[in-house]
Structure 1
Amino acid sequence: MSNGKEIFFADEEAAGSKLKRKAKESPFMIAGLGGLVVALGIAAYKFRHRGSMPTSVFLMQTRVAAQGTVVSALTIGVAYHMFNKWILHDGEDE
């Protein structure tokens, strides 16, 4: 029952080649990871200028912002895929 996708085992694939394969399969996941890195970078920069805000509140807000960027990117990716498949009929019927 082959559906045209290769099967990889964890010990056979290096991290770099796995990231390249995932980028081809799901580019919105890579966009989400990029958004995560940007959100965390901004939070690290703003950490010193948070004023009287407690650290726990700042870290909670940072977590929500980082999760929001990843979930937003993946949601946009799913919507894009559904639009192509169901509205434009660009995919093969499975």
Structure 2
Amino acid sequence: MSTDTDVSLSSYDEDQGSKLTRKAKEAPFVPIGMAGFAAIVAYGLYKLKSRGNTKMSVHLIHMCVAAQGFVVGAMTLGMGYSMYWEFWAKPKP
């Protein structure tokens, strides 16, 4: 019975920063979606004091919908981008 301890899997050897960098190169719209989500949440928190007569729950619902819409839009653009490069831009044999 032999055990193979020399097997090294690259996905287990990388740290969080290099994994995020590799994933960002594979799917560039993921970090865009994350940054947009964070920006909309930060803007919503900044505007929380000056919301006027708008109720707190309505303001939070609007910010939630805006953040989710941005993420869904980034995912849709990312899928369209990958489909374009996989099916249409690929050279035909």
1:2-41 superposed matches below 5 A: 8-9=11-12, 12-41=13-42
What letter corresponds to residue 15 of structure 1 in structure 2? Q
Structure 2 CA distance for aligned equivalents of residues 87 and 16 of structure 1? 32
Question: What is the DSSP-based 3-state SS (H/G/I as helix, E as strand, rest coil) of the residue aligned with 1:57?
Answer: helix
1:3 is matched with none
In the TM superposition, structure 1's runs of 4+ consecutive aligned residues that sit over 3 Å from their partners are none
Superposition RMSD in Å: 2.0
TM-score normalised by the chain length of structure 1: 0.76
Unaligned runs of 5+ in 2: 1-8
- Percent of aligned pairs sharing the same letter: 40
Unaligned runs of 5+ in 1: 1-5
TM-score normalised by the chain length of structure 2: 0.77
What is the number of equivalent residue pairs in this alignment? 84
